[in-house]
Structure 1
Amino acid sequence: MKPRRRLQRRLLAAFAALTLGVAGLFAFYAIAFVYMVEDRFFVAQLHDEAAYLRQAQAASGRWPAPRAAHLTLHTDSAGLPSDLRVPFLAEPGRSEFPGRDGRHYHLLALNGNDGRPAWLVAEVGDRLVVRPMRRHIFALLAWSGAIVLALALLLGAWIAHRSSRPLAELADVVAGLQPGELPERLPATRGDDEIGTLTRGLEALIGRVRTFVAREQEFTRDASHELRTPLAVIRSAGERLAAEADLDAAQRRHLDHIRLSAAQLEQTVTTLLALAREQPLAAAGPTRLLPLIERVIVEQAPLIGDRPIRVDLDVAPAAATPQPAAVLHIVLSNLIGNAFAHTERGSVRIDLADGTLRIANRGHAIDDALRAALHQPFTKREGSAGFGLGLAIVQRLCDRHGIALAIVHDADGTQARIGLGA
């Protein structure tokens, strides 16, 4: 599946957001500018008329009539127009007031020579230019913004496609990489930008991965040959020895144990090689749990030694799981062996309930940080005689075959819980 072109969409969204922001800011300043110019025109007219009125009042001792028809002079606030008087008395500091029926007022306070206040009022409703054109201005700004946005999106799409195309091609190639089919070259390697640097770094990494895969394949091939040959010799020698008629019961019991261990070791080699090749092991059929667990208990019993440990097994004879027997044998051998090795006395209980196999023992408590890292290679608890690889192998096998594994510690001790789906 091709990766989604999120980078192109983000670039387009950035262009669109920037364009809308710039257009909105421009529209705000444009509207504010035209309103301010219109208001400054009326304010300047009022100040010019106020200067004339003060000069005339100083010369004659009384206020003359304003020269323009839309201007009126009021020496008493009660004489103000009704739709101006009420808001003016509520906010005497304002100088601009909207009126009724399309009227609009600008007001300027005057002080005569006698110290009594007066108010020069300009009713400019029929002289307004911007407010009657507001719809046209907003429509023009909206259409202009839409056109600019469309142009910005076209430009952004071109830039986004041109900029992200090499990265998209590289993403398509990387998404389809397979360990056995690593390409020699990747697209977009000639550029000196960040994409070219990234591509060359990926090519170097792919080269190292190719070398590692080849080395691992050689190892698995050599290990398969070197391990299977002595196991075949052991099995053949065991079969010839089993044909001898003069063996007593104890010798035959030991011989059966050797042959069974050799067969289990062959299964283990097959499982580990499949794990190294990243190939899940297919099950021949349902695996019965009770015989497998009993066999593992017998194999791991030497780890108990002479310690007073009792094994409680509660698994129904008919219990089975679709997981391969070879995989479960490795998993159970590690977990049951750990339970035996880390229990000083008491019991190790193995039971199955609701598809979960539990292996519980009363060993020493495991620190939370250590328990979270036990699945990592070379991590082991204090006093362990192993190399810290068993649980790492178990975790990889469980991950590969979809087996849920959890190791918990509570008041009843340590529990390994294996979800088998049985």
Structure 2
Amino acid sequence: MGRSLRLKVTLVFSVLTIALLLAQALGVRTLAEAQEEKLIVALIHDDMANVLRSYEANPALLPPFDQRMNGYVSTSDRPPIVLPASATDLPVGTHQIIINGREIHVAIVPFGMTRLYRVYNFSAYERHFKGVINALMAGTGVFALLTIWLSFGLSGLLVRQVAGLARQVKMLRFGESPSIQPGKYDETELVGLVEAFNDYHRRMADMIEREKEFTGNVSHELRTPLTTIKTSCELLAQDAAISGKSRTRLQQIECAADTMRELTNALLMLAREDSAHDVEPVAVANLIESALMPFADRVAKKRLEAVIDVNRNLHVVVNRSALAVVLSNLIDNAVRHTDRGHVHFSYSDGWLRIEDTGPGIPTQALPYVFDRFYQADGQQTEKCGIGIGLSIVKKICDRYGWSIELASEPDRGTRVSLRLPSAKPEAVGFRDGLAPY
């Protein structure tokens, strides 16, 4: 599940603001420390100038000469700060050294034939300065937390109209509103989006209405003449005067009518958007028997065995009409291409398998058997079939989420495996075979 727009806006705004606050705090700290050092150096410079003038004017003010330092050491601290012997190696100028954990500044200037060391202790001032800097950094952290809270609130204001648009789109989906009202939105971009969406929704509604009218017309205008053709064929078939080529033509017309009827049912089923939710428990063995009935004459004529090796207690939750169309097309394909042997139905591990003993499918043709209008070389027969049955089967399986696999070898038959969802409990070990059908 993706992150919400509000969360993304909050994260981006918070990260940018916190980064700016941290950059500002670090910049202020660096600048303050630099200015502090410059101020200390300036104070030492002025003080040293005054001290040198006073010592030159009145040498009696000079501090005692320090033999260890080989110079005069002046300090205002009590007790006085003792400089380390290593300070004698420092050049003339102002230096910062650490004595007993304290930062001490030492100004060194030449004084006659020796040197003058002036010790300055700004540790109290520097502690106060560091306290101010730490308070500044703590304040930055507080402002960062406040920024996150403000960002979440502000992002809610920014995306509230987007959320409102999403709610209205959902209302459109469930038919609770004819269109989205653009007057509820004041952002120019959202107004344009609403107008574009309304236009798209109107065109989609018109298209859906046309599809409903078309499917209704197809259902009535095609099924009625097909029923008439089928009935007429059945009546003519009872006429003993019709024989030879005329009876063969009559059988072809009847077969074509059956094909058109199944094709019409499949196309209408695929055209209905809500058909994927129309499911019910279906007895697989019974449905296979029903799907085999239209092919009984062809099965008997070829002397094929139709073996249903499926537990009669097995139920799957599917769309009955969709599975009937799939089985009808798969059985038609198996019977049409099988001249001897059997068509075997079995079920195990969630897979319904239909196996025949036909000529099989060439290996190079297997990747294309589900393509629309595809027919493998050498597979065309005088029987009905235009290469669309397996394409419809694949589309129906995709619609309902059924997996379908096809395995075949030349001269060794074909096996189609169909995985049906939500299988109901079945009696283990019970096998009901019908052979021949």
TM-score > 0.5, shorter chain as reference = yes
Q: Does 1:318 align with 2:312?
A: yes
Could you tell me which of 161, 165, 176 is aligned with 1:170?
165
In the TM superposition, what is the alpha-carbon distance from 1:219 to its structure 2 partner? 0.8
More moved, 198-207 vs 181-190? 181-190
Q: Does 1:210 align with 2:205?
A: yes
Q: Does 1:12 align with 2:10?
A: yes
Counterpart-to-counterpart distance in 2, 1:410 and 1:120:
102
CA contact (8 A) 2:6 2:159 kept: yes
In the TM superposition, what is the alpha-carbon distance from 1:332 to its structure 2 partner? 2.4
CA contact (8 A) 1:109 1:117 kept: yes
Counterpart-to-counterpart distance in 2, 1:145 and 1:382:
73
Counterpart-to-counterpart distance in 2, 1:341 and 1:184:
52
CA contact (8 A) 1:66 1:72 kept: no
For 1:146, the equivalent position in structure 2 comes to 142
Q: Deviations over 1:370-412 (max 9, x none)?
A: 56xx76x747466476766434432343344x45223255989
One-letter code aligned to 1:77? S
CA change 1:261–1:378 in 2 (3 A) is: closer
CA change 1:134–1:188 in 2 (3 A) is: farther
TM-score, normalisation: structure 1: 0.66
CA contact (8 A) 2:73 2:116 kept: no
CA contact (8 A) 2:404 2:418 kept: yes
Q: Which runs of 5+ in 1 are unaligned?
A: 81-87, 89-93
Counterpart-to-counterpart distance in 2, 1:173 and 1:366:
52
Could you tell me which of 327, 330, 335 is aligned with 1:332?
327
Q: Does 1:157 align with 2:157?
A: no
Counterpart-to-counterpart distance in 2, 1:50 and 1:379:
103
Q: Deviations over 1:284-310 (max 9, x none)?
A: 8524255246447658879xx99xx98
Could you tell me which of 215, 237, 244 is aligned with 1:220?
215
1:190-339 matched pairs, under 5 angstroms: 193-234=188-229, 237=232, 269-270=264-265, 272-280=267-275, 281=278, 286-287=283-284, 288=286, 290-292=288-290, 294-295=292-293, 313=307, 315-316=309-310, 318=312, 320-322=314-316, 323=318, 325-338=320-333
Q: Which runs of 5+ in 2 are unaligned?
A: 57-68, 425-437
Counterpart-to-counterpart distance in 1, 2:375 and 2:256:
27
Could you tell me which of 70, 73, 76 is aligned with 1:69?
76
Q: Deviations over 1:220-258 (max 9, x none)?
A: 11111112322443565578779x79899x9x9x99999
Could you tell me which of 39, 42, 51 is aligned with 1:41?
39
One-letter code aligned to 2:158? S
Q: Deviations over 1:55-109 (max 9, x none)?
A: 999xxxx9753555259796941889xxxxxxx9xxxxx9545443x62223567
1:406-421 matched pairs, under 5 angstroms: 406-407=404-405, 415-420=415-420, 421=423
Counterpart-to-counterpart distance in 2, 1:245 and 1:138:
108
In the TM superposition, what is the alpha-carbon distance from 1:218 to its structure 2 partner? 1.0
CA contact (8 A) 1:407 1:416 kept: yes
Q: Does 1:30 align with 2:28?
A: yes
CA contact (8 A) 2:182 2:195 kept: no
For 2:104, the equivalent position in structure 1 comes to 105
TM-score, normalisation: structure 2: 0.64
For 2:430, the equivalent position in structure 1 comes to none
1:332-411 matched pairs, under 5 angstroms: 332-338=327-333, 350-359=345-354, 362-365=360-363, 370=367, 378=372, 380=374, 383=377, 389-400=388-399, 402=400, 404-407=402-405
More moved, 226-235 vs 265-274? 265-274
Secondary structure of the equivalent of 2:105?
strand
Secondary structure of the equivalent of 2:72?
coil
Secondary structure of the equivalent of 2:418?
strand
Percent identical: 25
CA contact (8 A) 1:334 1:391 kept: yes
CA change 1:41–1:338 in 2 (3 A) is: farther
Alignment root-mean-square deviation, CA: 5.6
Counterpart-to-counterpart distance in 1, 2:111 and 2:304:
115
CA contact (8 A) 1:380 1:388 kept: yes
Secondary structure of the equivalent of 2:310?
coil
CA contact (8 A) 2:344 2:355 kept: yes
More moved, 197-206 vs 340-349? 340-349
One-letter code aligned to 2:76? A
Could you tell me which of 178, 186, 191 is aligned with 1:183?
178
In the TM superposition, what is the alpha-carbon distance from 1:148 to its structure 2 partner? 7.3
In the TM superposition, what is the alpha-carbon distance from 1:217 to its structure 2 partner? 0.8
Secondary structure of the equivalent of 2:347?
strand
More moved, 270-279 vs 254-263? 254-263
Question: Of the two structures, which has the highest relative contact order with CA contacts closer than 8 Å and spacing of 6 or more?
Answer: 2
CA change 1:113–1:133 in 2 (3 A) is: closer
CA contact (8 A) 1:363 1:414 kept: yes
Q: How many residues align?
A: 390
Q: Deviations over 1:3-48 (max 9, x none)?
A: 9992223223333223322222222222223322222333345566
One-letter code aligned to 2:102? R
Counterpart-to-counterpart distance in 2, 1:35 and 1:110:
25
1:112-127 matched pairs, under 5 angstroms: 122-126=120-124
Q: Deviations over 1:176-202 (max 9, x none)?
A: 433877724454687673323322222
